[in-house]
Amino acid sequence: ENPIRNPTMTTSRSLSFEFFPTRTPEGRAKQILVRQELKQFNPQFFSCTSGAGGSTREGTLQTVRDILNEQTPAAPHLPCIGMLENEIVELLQQYKDIGVNRLIALRGDIPSGTGFGMEGLRYANELVALVKQKFGDHFHTIVAAYPEYHPQSQNAADDLRYFVQKVNAGADSAITQYFFNADAYFNFVDDAQRAGVDIPIIPGIIPVDSFTKLVRFSDMCGAEIPRWLRLKLYSYADDAESIRAFALDVVTHMCERLLQGGAPGLHFYTLNRADLSAEICKRIYGAPAK
């Protein structure tokens, strides 16, 4: 049997879905339904993003509580930039107290025009070290990886070196920025393994159905939209149905290639929607048992 079609056969393969905090009670209620739908695929956890400098602290905490109430493990994202060490430890303790045992440890991005980053932790490796120093192995600590390299990186070797430093600080697994080039992922994993990294590096997947949104996100995070994909999406103009169908095919095919090539799981950037991620999961893993 094809192990990709049956995720339970490969217990080490993970599946997770990412959300961002909502701003209204209606948004929150809708998000609970979205997670209900995605839960059918048996994810290992749901994660929730957090704005650097604690800007969405309450929203992230509320989402994490909701996820735990739904009996699913929750992984808050924790960008450390702009936070003092004692604030971080306090937040970690709060997470531990409500039952969180995994998190995504990040530097975050310094909001322009602010004084953030002048004090406190500077890079994600320092956060990982702090988490391990204060909480031992309590938190499964996930870090970010960039198969197409971090937008601020001037060269690949340095970026890899800093990634290895983050892993050596105690990271338990990594999730990548999204990409549309499976070879970039395989190449990055090979390089990391050659440099001694043996933690799972899980590809981050973005299901899309809007060309303009995709361009906006990708410009922000440095992910490359290949020319063929850009031109093809562009050629559909306002034909939303065709964009959706094409994008689902492209992303599903890439997920299958990643899993067949040994990727240890998939992490979906859901953008708080169930439909696209669910459709891709159905195609890859089969429809969930009712």
Active centre residues (catalytic): 18
Closest CA to 200 of 265, 131, 138: 265
Q: Which is nearer to ligand FAD, 118 or 289 (CB)?
A: 118
| Interatomic CA distance for residues 147 and 163, integer angstroms | 11
Report in angstroms how near the CB of residue 282 gets to ligand FAD at its nearest.
Answer: 23
Q: Which is nearer to ligand FAD, 14 or 177 (CB)?
A: 177
Q: Which is nearer to ligand FAD, 79 or 207 (CB)?
A: 79
Beta strand 140-145 with 45-48: parallel, antiparallel or unpaired?
unpaired
Report in angstroms how near the CB of residue 50 gets to ligand FAD at its nearest.
Answer: 5
Report in angstroms how near the CB of residue 245 gets to ligand FAD at its nearest.
Answer: 27
| Interatomic CA distance for residues 50 and 105, integer angstroms | 11
Q: Which is nearer to ligand FAD, 222 or 288 (CB)?
A: 222
List contacts with ligand FAD (CB under 6 A): 49-52, 77, 79, 104, 106-109, 123-125, 144, 150, 152-153, 159, 162, 166, 175, 177, 204
Binning the chain into helix, strand and coil, the percentages to the nearest 5 are 50, 15, 40
Helices 124-135 & 85-98, crossing angle to 10 degrees? Answer: 60
Q: What is the DSSP letter of 119?
A: S
Cβ atoms 97, 65 nearer than 8 A? no
Report in angstroms how near the CB of residue 1 gets to ligand FAD at its nearest.
Answer: 31
